[in-house]
């Protein structure tokens, strides 16, 4: 399995660079992934990232955008402003949780 090193932490990732072990993540790792993606993280970004992590830990699935908007107070348009080009995937990648998937 491929690995990558972020903020001095070696983490296992899948072919698309998503962490395959969410427990190896810490905020410095998240920060480093965001930098690699060209994102400058603000408190609003972190609201979404933190919710994605806590929700994944509780429910075992990466939350959808509507769920993130409803639970963080960050509106859908703002989510797209903060994470342009695919917020669902970008938030998942930075937060170290699986990207949104279907059953096949």
Which one-letter DSSP state was computed for residue 20? Answer: S
Window 2-21: residues binding another protein (CB under 8 A)? 2, 14-15, 20-21
Active site residue 6: no
Torsion, Cα 57 54 14 85, to 10 degrees, reads: 150
Q: How far is the CB of 48 from another protein (least distance, A)?
A: 14
- Does position 64 bind another protein by CB under 8 A? yes
Distance CA 75, CA 55 (A): 18
Q: How far is the CB of 83 from another protein (least distance, A)?
A: 10
In DSSP notation, 6-31 reads ETTEEEEB-TTS-BS-GGG--HHHHH
- Does position 62 bind another protein by CB under 8 A? yes
Closest to another protein by CB, 31 vs 100, is: 100
Catalytic residues: 103
């Amino acid at each position: 399995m491929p690995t990558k090193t972020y903020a001095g932490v070696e983490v296992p990732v899948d072919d698309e660079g998503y962490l395959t072990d969410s427990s190896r993540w810490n905020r410095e790792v998240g920060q480093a992934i965001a930098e690699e993606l060209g994102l400058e993280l603000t408190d609003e970004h972190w609201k979404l990232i933190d919710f994605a992590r806590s929700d994944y830990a509780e429910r075992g699935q990466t939350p959808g955008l509507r769920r993130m908007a409803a639970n963080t107070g960050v509106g859908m348009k703002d989510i797209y402003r903060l994470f342009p080009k695919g917020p669902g995937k970008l938030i998942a990648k930075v937060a170290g949780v699986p990207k949104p998937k279907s059953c096949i």
